[in-house]
Structure 1
Amino acid sequence: MRAAALPRLQDLNPLKFLPLSRVSYARLPGYDSSNASPFSIQPLKKYRWRSPSPGSDRFSFLRWSPFRLAVLAITIALCVALLGGGIRHHIVKKGEPPPRELFTWEHFDRLDGYYYGVRTLVSPSKYRPENPLRNTTELPASVTPRGVDKSLPKEPPLDPVRYSPYPDFESAEYLHDHAPVQPCYLDEEKRTPAPDTYAYPGLPSNMSQPYFGSYGELGLADDVCFDRYGRFGPYGYGYNMSEGGLGLGNISESGGSEKVFAAAGKVDYRNMDWGTAQKKCYEKNRARFENVATDSSGNTTNSKKKVQRHAYVLRTWTGFFYNDHQLLSLRAMINELSLKSGGEYDVHFLVHVKDDSIPIWASDETYEKTLRDNVPREFWNISTLWSEGQMVNYYPPPFPDNVANMAGSGIHGVYRSAHFPLQWFAQQHPEYDFFWNWEMDLRYTGHYYEFHSQVGRWAARQPRKGLWERGARFYIPGFHGSWADFTARVEAETRESGERPIWGPVNDFPHTGMLPPPNSSAPPHSYDDDKYEWGVGEEADLIVFNPLFDPSATNWVFRDDVTGYNTTLAEPPRRAAIITVARLSRRLLATMHEETWRMRHTMFPEMWPPTACLHHGYKAVYAPHPVFFDRDWPLGHMDRVFNHPTQVWESPFGWGEHNLLGSSFYYNSGFSGALWRRWLGQRENAEGGRAQEEGWGSGRGSPGNKRASGAGTGRMCLRGTLLHPIKHEMNSPE
């Protein structure tokens, strides 16, 4: 039996005693309860990211320790008893929440280099970042303002160039190992080839540097930037609906944008059918995905390398609003991942039918009507419907022995088991080697194929030794140095801590039944004998975009949502990665499926895939993609806060998550949406928009405060950046 010892004080979580149907990790500035998980499907408030000021935010009590909270509760109870109900309630004026103490990071200087526009573009050799990334634990001194030259040109000093991160498909080197790549088209008549994307070969002179992750380490270009015309002009931005565009961007700052359209033209997206385009592209390139190639006469030739196929699964639902900016991103995904790559990816919409009374499994007519009522026409032929009722039949109950259902919802619900439909989808599509789980509130300012292909190649190069330990930490290049330095540091820290490094399957814990790990997961030799060799060249079974942390060492509210394991024994070891955006191998999803239906094992969505990898010895990788912050963090302090919290409740994956509010990628980030909308040319918190980009409107505070807003420098130009969450965009004119 599990010991009935009292919990340690530091493990107490007073939130779990609150009568909430969905409990957030913590109630913090910018928090919205419906965004407590990336799988939440409830509509979100349009939270506008603001520079915090004293007295502007709520819920300061969450910064208190559990001990202080307990003392406060006892004190209040005694006062109530003594006063006998004669307490006068303090009335707070509506709209005036009580003041709170600012978090440490809120005292750091705001960074504004992101908002410098295309009129300040310089070559990579002349680029100087706004933030020098100081390796210190001291609070930073004020950043010296850098003024904007009033004589800036009205057009970018550099011209946009065609951006193609694909291999040279026509080179002798490529054709020596691979079957030829046949070009793909948007239309069946082959009149409209898949369009190109355009970027500027430089950076705004004051552009800020990322704090987490590395462009160079992942093999991503860090010397180009994308503006909204070069990025989305090929997909309908910047020209009228009468020409097949969306009508967006027609009245925003656009100096030099005509050069994009002169090179790319204007594609007519009326009557677009992406499903047919994808299917045709795959069919004409089928030989690339088989072990043999054929010549133009259909004769079998010498064997070539088989190219792996990817299903890129977008998780959407009935009632989802596809605004025009969303359409631009979706078109970019399909064109860049599928058509331009010669069919390497297929993009799919996995559509959750929220009304279980609709019998989508019983009637083709009902199925088609539901799909057409809820998905834009251009995506009909790449959409698959599912419902929670369907998952009940596919994974029938009971699912016993749940440790703690903090979400308060059923096991088959999308909130707690969004992996069920993904597992089901993988079972229906054995033709794919990998499945990307992608959310509708993600955006990427760079090229989709470059990001996904480079992340996959980087993950395959990673050795198994120290992989879990490195994956549990944020990589801060300005503090850690090179990846080799970071690897050595993590190994040293692991040895000094006395913790046992993970080496092969972790299945030596007490349990009453698990599927055995495959023989291929067994290490070929001991941990000490390995020279960072095992795993190099092995494709990753799981790639995530936040660290793979041990939830038992945090007060993350969903850490105990574990189902199907004997509750009289200790909980199994587990790992989690916040935000369920990931690449999963077919092997991993098959194992998750088997554990679910055969053993009745499952966990909260952010825990289940990493934990399945942990137990079965699969290769799981945290990809250190570039993450930006809106404040000038001292790096030593940043490493301590994010990688070495001293108390359980300080973890950034628990009550310490407020430290990520100002980042460009987390489940509750406020900066991500603000940065995205400013990049689109929209007004955000009285900043940005055409007036400010052109320089004839006021900036933040006053018209003369040029540096704080980038006023007069033209539209923004960002390097490739993965942003989450993006909960709203404005379709109205900029």
Structure 2
Amino acid sequence: MSSRLSKLDPRKLFVRTRFSYEKLPGGDSQNASPSFTSPIRFRWRNRSSGSDRCWHWPRLSLTKFILLVAIAFLTVSLMGTGMYRRHRLREEEEEKKVQRELYHWEHFPRLNGFYSGIRNLVPYSDWVSEQAFLKTAEFNGAPTKALPNTPKPGKEPPLDPVPFSPYPDYNSYEYLQEYSPVRACYLDEEGKVDLPDVYAYPGVPQNMTDPFFGSYQELGISESVCFDRFGRLGPYGYGFSREEGGLGLSGKSESAGAEKIWSWETKVDYRNVDWAKAQQKCFQKNKIRFDKNALTEDGKKPDPEKKTVPRHAYILRTWTGYKYSEYQILTLRAMINELSLKSGGEYDVHFLVHVKDDSIPIWASDEVYQKTLQENVPEEFWGLATLWSEQQMRMYYPEPFPNNVFNHAKAPVHSVYRSAHFALQWFSQMRPEYDFYWNWEMDIRYTGHYYEFNTQIGKWAKQQPRKGIWERSSRYYIPEQHGTWKNFTDMVEEEVFQGETKPVWGPPNFENTGMLESPPEATPPTTYTADKYEWGVGEDADMIVFNPIFDPNATNWVFRDDVSGYDLSLPTPPRRAAIITVARLSKRLLDLMHTETYKMRHHMFPEMWPPSVAFHHGLKAVYVPHPVFFDRNWPLETLDDAFNHPQRPQDSVFGWGEHNQLGSSFYYNSGFSAALWRRWLGSRENSEGGTEEEENGSGRMCLRSMLFHPIKKETGAE
């Protein structure tokens, strides 16, 4: 969500730190009042048309003279008073900035290992994280203000980039024993334009910063490689000119060694690519992988003994008037190529476009529909877009939605702010052929490979047991503090045992009316204590989210009471929430959400609705511990206490304690994420970074796989 605390002054949410966090709208006080930009000029009369001029003082009576003096005095007084007031106002504003009490985390030392460049690359076996280096230096009494990041101007990276492929070996004997063959896909209809590869460096810059939350190793995501902007985005048009079909964004970038990827890679003329046609053809060539009733291209039936592969809809939530930056286009191309085409059709990428003007009858005219689409989506993605509007949702999910507990947003129930899930539910009913639906926001970026990330977190979630899953998913996993995942699991179980709240085990019993029946498979096969972490292992998760799933009633999160459709004479149903609506949802969960909405008239705020429906019906939901970084070196116990064990509800990091998230790489209000992303692109931020600094130092940044949110502005070495 782009904004949550609608009643608060956004300027008060901006925290001054040593990083240049993105300024929020209205934050420039210099534009609040006018200022004089030129001196007052007296205009003298020219009494002669020739070259000789004769100047005269104007003739004034005593009365007029006194009046003129009085007016001049009054004008000067008003100007002086105004200027003085503006001066005092500026002084007071500066005093407030100086006197503001810093948040506790602002006292922690800044981490700089993110900016260790590709000239500092070392094999992963030789890598020492920034935190480990600082800890060792402090233990030995050595200075810790600077990392051993010796400038190496002009020197090429010590390692060469290599193609990065996380896909199974589709031609191997082992794969073909289990699955139908994968037929290669192309960017053109003739099958002549090969799909581009992504390139990574087989190492990590020495003293690169480690994540505080999550684990590459636990999720099975490559931790021993890093991605620079040329290897990651170059093949999608970043690294070559517009005349060649690229976007020509790399001309001013530090680029030592970057040309090596063209030893293997062919430049694609993206002016001729129709992504929708390429995606559809790829699926048609491989449809027997997903449907045992389909026929091969030569009309034969598939082998009934072969396993089928799940299908995913990867849905990008966009809107009319959205400005697609050139860096955004590179990201979109990467998603389609890596998720859909190179996987043999496992994913379909869709653009779900919100038509903000309700007066446009997109459902009544094909001509209006196409005109609206083509005016608001880049041409190469036209065939991937589906339009919807709030007016359409009012007809699909008609009023009433009675008995609202508290509408903090003061917005209609069908507004996208309160019901972003309506369009997703509707889409899942119109396109029911998918097993999973990814709800993806336009302001997310990822330095790693999309297929590796999506596939590995899905596999990890599938292997998670049901026992303790809601309790584990309510906490941040801090490996350096909690140890292994098993140790973390045991710790959470002990906390639950020592606590007063009963663990979640199947659909919860609560007092309210009009509830739907839960799926029979959601009933636990044994008691909680009898289960040996077996139930749920091998079961696909119905919901995967990227921030913890918390009990909003135990926090002061502002939208915790935006609940409608339940009996107000009874207690409000228990519920769960996960901040940021980004998630993978199963068809089963979306069907329940849809039925609860149209049949029962139940409704909750978007970040609370999918987790609460999954909770009520005993479905499998999980927070995936992906790596999250911080800009400052938090003490681990302090980090654990702040994020996992707040002393009071109002201290929760999902309420008034959200300031703790400002320095993280993934949260709705993070400022560090955007600054770090732009530095990786080559931009100069807060008088740091940029081409000159990279060329005179250790080179351009090379980050491991990292998920960024939110990214509202993108600039590179321009």
TM-score calculated relative to the size of structure 1: 0.85
Quote how far apart the aligned CAs of 1:25 are: 11
Q: Distance in 2 between matches of 1:97 and 1:421?
A: 48
Conserved 8 A contact 2:180-2:303: no
Moved more, 437-446 or 566-575: 566-575
Q: Distance in 2 between matches of 1:619 and 1:464?
A: 7
Quote how far apart the aligned CAs of 1:89 are: 13
Identity of aligned residues (%): 61
- The corresponding residue for 1:727 is 712
What's the CA shift string for 1:342-401, capped at 9, x where partnerless? 000000000000000111111100000000000000000000000000000000001111
- The corresponding residue for 2:554 is 553
Conserved 8 A contact 1:22-1:408: no
Conserved 8 A contact 2:153-2:695: no
Quote how far apart the aligned CAs of 1:50 are: 8.4
TM-aligned CA distance change 1:178 to 1:573, over 3 Å: same
Q: Does 1:477 align with 2:448?
A: no
- The corresponding residue for 1:49 is 21
- The corresponding residue for 1:61 is none
Moved more, 508-517 or 625-634: 508-517
- The corresponding residue for 2:89 is 92
- The corresponding residue for 1:248 is 249
Quote how far apart the aligned CAs of 1:96 are: 2.8
TM-aligned CA distance change 1:141 to 1:435, over 3 Å: farther
Q: Does 1:639 align with 2:640?
A: yes
Conserved 8 A contact 2:153-2:699: no
TM-aligned CA distance change 1:295 to 1:518, over 3 Å: closer
- The corresponding residue for 1:536 is 537
Match of 2:386 among 381, 384, 387: 384
TM-aligned CA distance change 1:689 to 1:123, over 3 Å: same
Return the letter of the residue paired with 1:197.
V
Conserved 8 A contact 2:116-2:149: no
TM-aligned CA distance change 1:653 to 1:27, over 3 Å: farther
Quote how far apart the aligned CAs of 1:28 are: 4.8
- The corresponding residue for 1:684 is 685
Conserved 8 A contact 2:288-2:296: no
Q: Distance in 1 between matches of 2:290 and 2:511?
A: 43
Conserved 8 A contact 1:158-1:200: yes
TM-aligned CA distance change 1:452 to 1:21, over 3 Å: closer
- The corresponding residue for 2:70 is none
TM-aligned CA distance change 1:582 to 1:31, over 3 Å: farther
Q: Distance in 2 between matches of 1:718 and 1:324?
A: 21
Q: Does 1:111 align with 2:111?
A: yes
Return the letter of the residue paired with 1:347.
V
Determine helix, strand or coil for the equivalent of 1:96: helix
Conserved 8 A contact 1:574-1:611: yes
Quote how far apart the aligned CAs of 1:148 are: 2.8
Conserved 8 A contact 1:134-1:478: no
Moved more, 188-197 or 155-164: 188-197
TM-aligned CA distance change 1:91 to 1:240, over 3 Å: same
Determine helix, strand or coil for the equivalent of 1:533: coil
Quote how far apart the aligned CAs of 1:132 are: 2.4
Question: Pairwise mapping of residues 303-702 of structure 1 onto structure 2 (< 5 A)?
Answer: 303=304, 304-506=306-508, 508-695=509-696
Q: Distance in 1 between matches of 2:652 and 2:584?
A: 25
Where relative contact order (Cα < 8 A, 6+ residues apart) is larger, the structure is: 1
- The corresponding residue for 1:705 is none
* Bigger Rg over Cα: 2
TM-aligned CA distance change 1:405 to 1:526, over 3 Å: same
Conserved 8 A contact 1:109-1:143: no
TM-aligned CA distance change 1:375 to 1:150, over 3 Å: closer
Q: Distance in 2 between matches of 1:674 and 1:21?
A: 22
Determine helix, strand or coil for the equivalent of 2:439: strand
Quote how far apart the aligned CAs of 1:297 are: 4.6
TM-score calculated relative to the size of structure 2: 0.87
TM-aligned CA distance change 1:23 to 1:581, over 3 Å: farther
Q: Which runs of 5+ in 2 are unaligned?
A: 30-84
Q: Distance in 2 between matches of 1:441 and 1:24?
A: 22
Quote how far apart the aligned CAs of 1:150 are: 3.9
Q: Distance in 2 between matches of 1:385 and 1:490?
A: 44
TM-aligned CA distance change 1:124 to 1:180, over 3 Å: same
Quote how far apart the aligned CAs of 1:152 are: 6.0
- The corresponding residue for 1:30 is 14
TM-aligned CA distance change 1:89 to 1:689, over 3 Å: closer
What's the CA shift string for 1:623-665, capped at 9, x where partnerless? 0000000000111111111000011110000011100100000
What's the CA shift string for 1:668-688, capped at 9, x where partnerless? 000000000000001111111
TM-aligned CA distance change 1:367 to 1:724, over 3 Å: same
Quote how far apart the aligned CAs of 1:416 are: 0.4
- The corresponding residue for 1:68 is none
Quote how far apart the aligned CAs of 1:23 are: 3.8
- The corresponding residue for 2:165 is 164
Moved more, 114-123 or 146-155: 146-155
Determine helix, strand or coil for the equivalent of 1:313: strand
- The corresponding residue for 1:132 is 132
- The corresponding residue for 1:185 is 186
Q: Distance in 2 between matches of 1:590 and 1:135?
A: 51
Q: Distance in 1 between matches of 2:476 and 2:9?
A: 20
- The corresponding residue for 1:72 is none
Quote how far apart the aligned CAs of 1:147 are: 3.3
TM-aligned CA distance change 1:251 to 1:405, over 3 Å: same
Q: Which runs of 5+ in 1 are unaligned?
A: 1-19, 33-46, 58-87, 696-711
TM-aligned CA distance change 1:547 to 1:644, over 3 Å: same
Q: Distance in 2 between matches of 1:558 and 1:296?
A: 52
Q: Distance in 1 between matches of 2:153 and 2:715?
A: 29
Q: Distance in 1 between matches of 2:213 and 2:12?
A: 22
Quote how far apart the aligned CAs of 1:149 are: 2.6
Return the letter of the residue paired with 1:175.
L
Q: Distance in 2 between matches of 1:517 and 1:161?
A: 49
Conserved 8 A contact 2:133-2:207: no
TM-aligned CA distance change 1:199 to 1:439, over 3 Å: same
Determine helix, strand or coil for the equivalent of 2:517: coil
Moved more, 566-575 or 338-347: 566-575
- The corresponding residue for 1:223 is 224
When the two chains are superposed, the root-mean-square deviation of aligned CA atoms in Å is 2.5
Return the letter of the residue paired with 2:343.
S
TM-aligned CA distance change 1:30 to 1:279, over 3 Å: same
Aligned length: 648
Quote how far apart the aligned CAs of 1:133 are: 9.4
TM-aligned CA distance change 1:344 to 1:24, over 3 Å: farther
Quote how far apart the aligned CAs of 1:457 are: 0.4
What's the CA shift string for 1:563-616, capped at 9, x where partnerless? 111112111100000001000000100100000000000100000000000100
Question: Pairwise mapping of residues 246-285 of structure 1 onto structure 2 (< 5 A)?
Answer: 246-285=247-286
